[in-house]
Structure 1
Amino acid sequence: MPVSRIAIGSSAEASHPDALKASLAEFISMVIFVFAGEGSGMAFNKLTNNGAATPAGLIAASIAHAFALFVAVSFGANISGGHVNPAVTFGAFIGGNITLLRGLLYWAAQLLGSVVACLLLKIATGGLETSAFSLSSGVGVWNAVVFEIVMTFGLVYNVYATAVDPKKGDVGIVAPIAIGFIVGANILAGGAFDGASMNPAVSFGPAVVSWTWNAHWVYWLGPLVGAAVAALVYDVIFIGQGTHEQLPTSEF
């Protein structure tokens, strides 16, 4: 079972140059991703007089997030593994592919990167609001949790299939493209209901800068549960005990 491979890590890991470089890579990738993704919504609102919630706005958000995530994952792939998402990091931890301490470093870098990106957007746009994620009218918190679980399951399952599985071969650029595509597709599926976060850091930055925390817990609980289920399902069924290989620290 992958749970048996969960590791805490050593205290020296927190100051190891490789771990610090990987965390910096996660920070930079997250700034790039959130600045482009959140910024696309702000730009669409400005150009269409608050039309980001329209079908055209949803398509624009899907494309912007897919492209930005593809680039952000590619940037970090050879340094940190290109998680760019606390849920992906949590899924890697559940599968025994990253230690707890290294994962916490990634989380800190990812959350800080999202906040910095939103602050930069607020400064660059002359104080425009970086809107926090929220539930659409008629969508309950548990409906949104289910959405986030299912969408994040698809994302992390994709990560395991294209980047973690030791049988994947040399997929090269395929993994970042597939990861960007599934996020873009999920935004089309769930964006009209709860914003389709799939990423606690993406929700955290706008919430901090706008200081809006309504139902914010949804965007943590759903992605973390979905990530854990995806990691367990893929590892147990498709990787198995006999074929599992611990990934080098330069990846996950």
Structure 2
Amino acid sequence: MRPRRFTVGRSEDAVHPDTMRAALAEFLATALFVFAAEGSLLSLDKLYKDTTTAGGLVVVAVAHAFALMVAVSVAFNISGGHVNPAVTFGALLGGRISLIRAVFYWAAQILGAIVAAALLRITTGGMRPLGFSLASGVSEWHALLLEIIMTFGLMYTFYATALDPKRGYLGTIAPLAIGFIVGANILSGAPFDGAGMNPARVFGVALVGWRWSHHWLYWVGPFIGAGLAGLIYEFLLIQPETAPHTHQPLAPEDY
């Protein structure tokens, strides 16, 4: 069978109950992830007034890995557990989700991140989210390339463990693998540009904390990286003659 192709979807999918449920799952999962992930940074800043130490970096990486693992797990059976607009974009280019459904996911993810960042500011007594910025000596183009590479690894891992029709038992450990790759990327990339990889999370803390330094690269880099990974895995690595015509859970094309 031929690989999937990009699809816009049907107009009725926009009001289908399953689309609404999937969008709600993405909203809640993204909010849970951003609250825990950004909360770990604020906790370190509250305790030590410094989040740049080696020990602090490990704590933040572990917190992100665990939080994302849980967020993907709780949404996996309803929406596929994207929890990231870049991941949704990669799935869209690979034909694993329709454009209509992707738009709902993007709106839900961004709103979830904003709500989580706002709740953090309220519950911490007005602490301003730290946001993302470039380290000294790191140019925008270096950071852009870093975001592309890190998000490529994230999307490739997501495709291999959550979307590949032949994933088998790997599907059960997909949330763990996805969380681990994000934690590893934070260890390698956070000291340079904060290791965004998730435009929704970056936008949420930027809006609530009003920190917009170099904001564009945290959208462009992840979308390029995830898009490349989705296209490469779908059209070069999945064998056309053995790839079954099945979609991710509750995709609108399956109604």
User: Structure 1 length as normaliser, TM-score?
Assistant: 0.96
Q: State the Cα distance separating 1:69 from its structure 2 match.
A: 0.3
Q: Does 1:31 align with 2:31?
A: yes
Displacement of 1:117 in angstroms is 0.2
> How far, CA to CA, are the matches of 2:139 and 2:179 in structure 1?
27
Match of 1:17 in 2: 17
Q: Pairwise mapping of residues 1-252 of structure 1 onto structure 2 (< 5 A)?
A: 5-48=5-48, 50-244=49-243, 245-250=245-250
Distance in 2 (alpha carbons) for counterparts of 1:176 and 1:249: 15
2:44 partner SS: helix
Using the alignment, how far apart are the partners of 1:221 and 1:160 within structure 2?
20
Q: How far apart, in 1, do the equivalents of 2:175 and 2:146 lie?
A: 23
Counterpart CA distance in 1 for 2:78 and 2:157 is 20
Distance 2:13 2:117 in 1: 29
Whole-Å Cα distance in 2 between the matches of residues 6 and 93 of structure 1?
7
Give 4+ residue runs of structure 1 displaced > 4 Å after superposition. Answer: none
Query: SS of 1:171's equivalent?
Result: helix
Task: Identify unmatched segments of 5+ residues in structure 2.
Answer: none
The answer to whether the Cα contact below 8 Å between 2:161 and 2:171 also exists between their aligned partners in 1 is no
Confirm or deny: 8 A CA contact 2:156 2:230 kept in the other structure. yes
Partners of 1:52 and 1:58 within 8 A in 2: yes
Q: Unaligned regions of 5+ residues in structure 1, if any?
A: none
Contact 2:61–2:187, Cα closer than 8 Å, also in 1: yes
The alignment yields a C-alpha RMSD, in angstroms, of 1.4
Q: Judge which range, 231-240 or 73-82, deviates more.
A: 231-240
Give the stretch that moved more between structures: 126-135 or 178-187.
126-135
Greater shift in the superposed pair: 155-164 or 165-174 = 165-174
Q: 2:239 aligns to what SS in structure 1?
A: helix
Secondary structure of 1:9's partner? coil
Identity of aligned residues (%): 54
Contact 1:36 1:68 in 2 (8 A): yes
Amino acid at match of 1:225: I
State how far apart, in whole Å, the 1-side matches of 2:102 and 2:241 are. 25
Cα deviation per residue 1:132-159 (whole Å; 9 max; x = unaligned)? 2111111111100000000000000001
